[in-house]
Structure 1
Amino acid sequence: MSKMQDNPDVLSVIDGYSDEVRAAILKLRTLIVETANSSDAVGTLEETLKWGQPSYLTIRPKSGTTVRIDRDTSDAGDYALYVNCQSSLVSEWRGLFPDMTFGGDRSVHFRLDTALPEDDVRQMILMALTYHANKNKRKTALS
């Protein structure tokens, strides 16, 4: 059972990508949905557009932060996964996955000619989709 309803506006944006980028973005989208579906901590996802990018957020308040995916217009890669730059996620990911390519405090970048490290990306996605819930748990544990 899917925990997300397809958004036709998002699918239209994805359809506008080149064939290679579309396939990569659809793979990331699938990983996001599968990761959400595999964790009760995530709950239902909403698919929407933010800044013109396919975006995925939890419906449950204060549980996760938005995950965005898009082609990469920088020189860092061909497509990327983005999170809120005010979060500590990319900093945490740098420590966990030092061999990946990061863009500031908001993104991880991938190349079309390199296999996507699916297990690592699933972990990143889960961390993002449970970011606020886990942050609140860390604060409670420290109290």
Structure 2
Amino acid sequence: MPKSDSLIPKDVEAKFDAYPPAVKPRMLVLRELVLSVANRIGVGELDESLKWGEPSYLAKGGSAIRMDWKSKTPDECFLFFHCQTKLVDTFRELYSEVLEFRGNRALVLQLGKLLPEREVAHCIELAHRYQSLKNLPLLGC
């Protein structure tokens, strides 16, 4: 079961608290989406920690998802995926008309735009289930 808000690790909580007021709500929405997708698909316990100073989420049998906001790109926040997986290439194939990408590791989300929740949730689901999907064309989509 994903950790609840009351069990958020202190260092992760401090990271969320450090985001600017205009950014923190979006980051918390992304966190909730990562947790709710994990719960919905039944991945079991989700490891929540800081990796490279960014909130990171890893399900057993999945691939890590990190998220962050950078002051050098103040209107964007990011979901990061392992660059040696097929995840971002698959997301690009499925959702290039809806989502924005940076390289082979990042999903870019504009703060001033509505979150394309259905598509982002599907990307998160594929990352949570990656080990069982990685040998399927388009990760089974």
Aligned length in residues: 133
Could you tell me which residue of structure 1 aligns to residue 115 of structure 2?
A: 116
Match of 2:89 among 81, 88, 91: 91
Shift of the 76–90 alpha-carbon distance from structure 1 to 2, 3 Å rule, reads farther
1:76–1:101 contact (8 Å) kept in structure 2: no
In structure 2, distance between residues paired with 1:115 and 1:38: 22
Could you tell me which residue of structure 2 aligns to residue 64 of structure 1?
A: 62
Superposed CA RMSD: 1.8
SS, match of residue 41 in structure 2: coil
Shift of the 97–72 alpha-carbon distance from structure 1 to 2, 3 Å rule, reads farther
How far 1:133 sits from its partner (Å)? 1.7
In structure 2, distance between residues paired with 1:73 and 1:120: 25
In structure 2, distance between residues paired with 1:24 and 1:50: 19
SS, match of residue 19 in structure 1: coil
Write out the 4+ residue segments of structure 1 that deviate beyond 3 Å after TM superposition: 72-77
Q: Any unmatched runs of 5+ in structure 2? A: none
Match of 2:76 among 65, 70, 78: 78
How many percent of aligned residue pairs carry the same amino acid?
A: 35
SS, match of residue 101 in structure 2: strand
Return the TM-score normalized by structure 2.
0.87
Return the TM-score normalized by structure 1.
0.86
| Cα deviation digits, residues 102-130 of structure 1 (max 9, x gap) | 01000111111100000111000000011
How far 1:3 sits from its partner (Å)? 2.1
